[in-house]
Each structure stands twice: as structure tokens, then as C-alpha cells.
Amino acid sequence: MGLNEEKLAAAVAAFTVDTDELQAAAAAFRYDIERGLEGNTESTLPLLPAYLGLPTGEEQGEYLALDFGGTNVRVLRLQLLGHGRFTTLAKAAAPLRVPGQYDYTGSSATATELFDFIAGQVDAVLDGDHQTPYRLGHTFSFPSSQKDLRDARLLHWTKEFATSGVEGAYVNAFLQEALLRRGIGNVQPTAVINDTVAVLLAAAYERGDTYIGSIYATGQNNCYLESYGGQRPAMILNMESGNFAKLLPNTYDLQLDAASEKPERQRLEKMVSGRYLGELFTLAMEDIQGRPLPSSFTSQDMAELLSDATAGAKVLQRVVGIPFSAAEAAALQLLAASILRRSARLVAAAYTGVLWHQAGSGPIVPQQIAIDGSVYEKMPLVQETLTQAMAELLEEDAGKVQLRLASGGSGLGAALAAAMCMEK
Ligand code: BGC
């Protein structure tokens, strides 16, 4: 069976963002930041205060860091050495879901089961030491509202998490109870931050000119240092930019949203993040093939397809269940590329919205944007498309802004937050 070329071309067009649309997306982003800061409910950006500014770079001491935000939970024991340096003393990691064995991310799991499991990972980095007092920083990568740095209330799950009894509740209270149930009285969870905030703290610990932190992975989100025009102390705001909803969805976006755990929420995230890229490709392929597929593509499948048409033909055959020629795979590379390019272009629009807001009516503030995550780090086309789109948007100012891969900031950022809560 040959490919339906008309349908393929229409699907590629549905994922294409031209320069005008890119400019409009960045402007809409800036608009929502500014309305959001005024407390105007028309904004789709939550802009959640992190109760933290940037680190001094001199933070020191031994801390525990918990990184909870994806399907793996990680705990580190870290020694902050000051001057942007640190060493890792111990680490533990475990998946929250092992198919056929257990799943703490689904609705059949309870908050108690989830946090008891996490407390077990904390125990693993203590080497049996239930005496030495430790402060624990918790990178919790879901939209949460805070009244202070100490604890955070989960607003709603994202990334298809559904563990019962956590939405609306305080996560460090759960963690503290779980630690005590395990006989760990010496660990005090003292700070909760978003993973974007962790990336920003970690990058700013090393160098001063970083004001935007970004995660581009299973989920996508950004935070930035809001200066409030000097009227109030500067504070990092977790934008929850994945919730941005001022873009026109295409037919595949609408189908994906309708079938998701949380329809209507995280509209931008569902267009750009690693959790959803493969699903968008699957929906477009179903449209092109005119029938449901026996299984779904993952973002890794898309990466493989893009790397080589012959290998791509095998991936297509495995997922779709019928043979594809290398020429057909090459044609379908265009579809995968258009989905990835749209993702990177929309993320560039989000960064630019922040840069335009920071600039006000003045010049763009020179800086590095710290970015962590597998999509940014590993997916084909993403880095170069982002850089090109930033150049398209910022024109002659493009040289003032550097995108910087800042991997592994979640643990360091959490430890810094625990240290910074002592500075407050
Ligand atoms: C969450 C954010 C998080 C992002 C990246 C999103 O689904 O809402 O809080 O920063 O994923 O992990």
C-alpha cells in the first residue's frame, strides 16, 4: 500500500508554525505573563511564586536532595562546597512504575504508598544513619502552590500521573509522615521547588547571568527571576508554561487532549513535551493510514526514524504492522520533523515572551537560558530549530542570549534550596 501523500502533506502543514505565527505566539506569551502578574484571570500562565531568589554562589554544607517529577525518583546526598562547586556523596534511584510489578503513578496507588516508597529511597542514601540531622530539599516537578519555601500543595497532576489523594494536599507533609513511619526522625524536608527552579538555581550557583530555567523533557516548563521593576525583592516564578492555552490547536492536538488524563489542561505541554510527541505522531499516522494503529510511537521511535530512513522503515513496520519502503520512511521523516520543529519553535516563543517582558521598553537583557531535559539534549532537530527560532524572533539581539544545556540540576538545585532556606 502506498502512502496517502495528500494526507501526509496536510498533516505536515498542520504542524507548521510560520514566522508570523511564531511572533504572535511570543507576543501572546508576554501578554499572559504581564496579565498574570496583574492577577488578571485572563492569563493562562499560573506564575507560581517559588519564595526564592538566586543563590549567592557561596552556599555550603551537606544536604539531601529528592528529585520527584518523572517516572524515576532520585535521592542524593550532596556536599555544597561554595563557589559553584559540589560533590555527590551518595545516590539512590528507582522507577515509580515497573509494568507487571508495581505502579505508584496510577490512580490505584495511594499517597501513603507513593511516599512510603520514596521514603525508602531517602533511607538508601543515609546508609543506616538515623541520627545525623539533615535538611532535605525536594524538587517536586508538578504545578504546586506555596505559601513559603517549606511545603507545596499539589494543584493537579500532569504528565499523566494519577496517584490518588495527592491533588490538593501538601507533599512535604506526606513525605515527613512517611519518613517518620520508617523511623527516620533526623531528616527534615525544609524546601520544595519546581524542577525549572532547580535548574535555574543550579546554573546560577555556577555563574551569575542566568535568569531563566527550563525543563524540556517528559514535561515542558520554564521559570524566571521576576524583578517587579525593583518595587519588591526579586523572586523566581514557576510559570507552569505548559498550561499556556493561547495557541490554535490542530485536529491531532484536539484528539490528544480529549483522550488525556486531564483534558483542557496543559495545552502547550501537550504540543511540545516528550510525553506527547510520539502520541501526536501516532494520531497523524492513523489519519494518514485511515485506521487505528496496533500500537503507539514513542519519541524514541521518532528519533530513530529521523536518524536513518532504512532503520526508520523497520520502526514503522514494527509499530504500524505493515512493511514500509525506505522512500516511504523518508517521506514520513518530514512528518516527524514537523512535529519536533513545531515543538522547538513554540518553546522558543515561550523563552522570547519572557525576554521581551524582562526588557520592557528597553533592550534585551544579555543572559544564558539554562535548559535541562532529554528532548533538548537528545532529540534530533530540537537544538538547532530552537536556536534558529530565537534568531528569527530576536533578530539583531539574538547574540545576547545563549541557550545552555544544564543537565542534572534537579539534585543540586534541591540542595541549594535547602541551604538557602537557612539564609532566609
Ligand atoms: C509540570 C511542571 C514541570 C514540568 C517539567 C510539567 O508537567 O506541570 O511543574 O516543571 O512538567 O517536569
With bands split at pLDDT 50, 70 and 90, how would you rate the model's confidence at 1? low
Q: What percent of the chain has pLDDT over 70?
A: 99
- The protein residue with its alpha carbon nearest to ligand 1, atom 6, reads 219
User: Hey, how many other C-beta atoms are within 10 angstroms of the C-beta on 275?
Assistant: 24
Grid cell listed for 96: 515509580
**Closest atom of ligand 1 relative to the 215 alpha carbon:** 5
CA separation (Å) from 128 to 94, 123, 184, 186? 18, 7, 9, 11
Q: What is the mean pLDDT of the chain?
A: 96
CA separation (Å) from 321 to 135, 289, 300? 52, 11, 18
Half-sphere exposure of 46 (CA within 13 A, CB side): 20
* Identity at 384, one-letter amino acid code: E
* pLDDT score, position 424: 55
- CATH fold, domain 60-206+408-419, is Nucleotidyltransferase; domain 5 (3.30.420)
pLDDT, average across residues 230-246: 97
- The protein residue with its alpha carbon nearest to ligand 1, atom 2, reads 142
Give 137's strand partners: 65, 191
CA–centroid distance, residue 43 to ligand 1 (Å):
18
Question: Would you say the CB of residue 243 lies under 6 angstroms from ligand 1?
Answer: no
pLDDT, average across residues 231-254: 97
Contact in structure between 219 and 158 (CB atoms under 8 Å): yes
Question: Would you say the CB of residue 69 lies under 6 angstroms from ligand 1?
Answer: yes
1 vs 236, higher pLDDT: 236
The 10s digit of each residue's pLDDT in 255-302 is: 999 999 999 999 999 999 999 999 999 999 999 999 999 999 999 999
* pLDDT score, position 408: 85
- Same topology between domain 5-47+230-404 and domain 60-206+408-419: no
- The protein residue with its alpha carbon nearest to ligand 1, atom 4, reads 219
The 10s digit of each residue's pLDDT in 110-136 is: 999 999 999 999 999 999 999 999 999
- The protein residue with its alpha carbon nearest to ligand 1, atom 11, reads 219
The 10s digit of each residue's pLDDT in 192-221 is: 999 999 999 999 999 889 999 999 999 999
Distance between CA atoms of 181 and 187, rounded to whole angstroms?
12
User: Hey, how many other C-beta atoms are within 10 angstroms of the C-beta on 85?
Assistant: 12
Asked if the 5-47+230-404 domain carries CATH number 3.40.367.20, the reply is yes
**Closest atom of ligand 1 relative to the 196 alpha carbon:** 10
Distance between CA atoms of 76 and 63, rounded to whole angstroms?
8
- The protein residue with its alpha carbon nearest to ligand 1, atom 8, reads 142
The 10s digit of each residue's pLDDT in 82-107 is: 988 999 999 999 999 999 999 999 99
The 10s digit of each residue's pLDDT in 30-41 is: 999 999 999 999
CA–centroid distance, residue 179 to ligand 1 (Å):
25
Pseudo-torsion of CA 194, 200, 201, 203, nearest 10°?
140
- The protein residue with its alpha carbon nearest to ligand 1, atom 9, reads 142
Q: What percent of the chain has pLDDT over 90?
A: 96
Give 81's strand partners: 60
Among 96, 141, 271, residue to substitute to test ligand 1 (most atoms within 8 Å of Cβ) = 141
* pLDDT score, position 117: 98
Question: Would you say the CB of residue 215 lies under 6 angstroms from ligand 1?
Answer: yes
Question: Would you say the CB of residue 141 lies under 6 angstroms from ligand 1?
Answer: yes
The 10s digit of each residue's pLDDT in 372-396 is: 999 999 999 999 999 999 999 999 9
With bands split at pLDDT 50, 70 and 90, how would you rate the model's confidence at 71? confident
Q: Where are the domains of the chain?
A: 5-47+230-404, 60-206+408-419
Entry pTM: 0.96
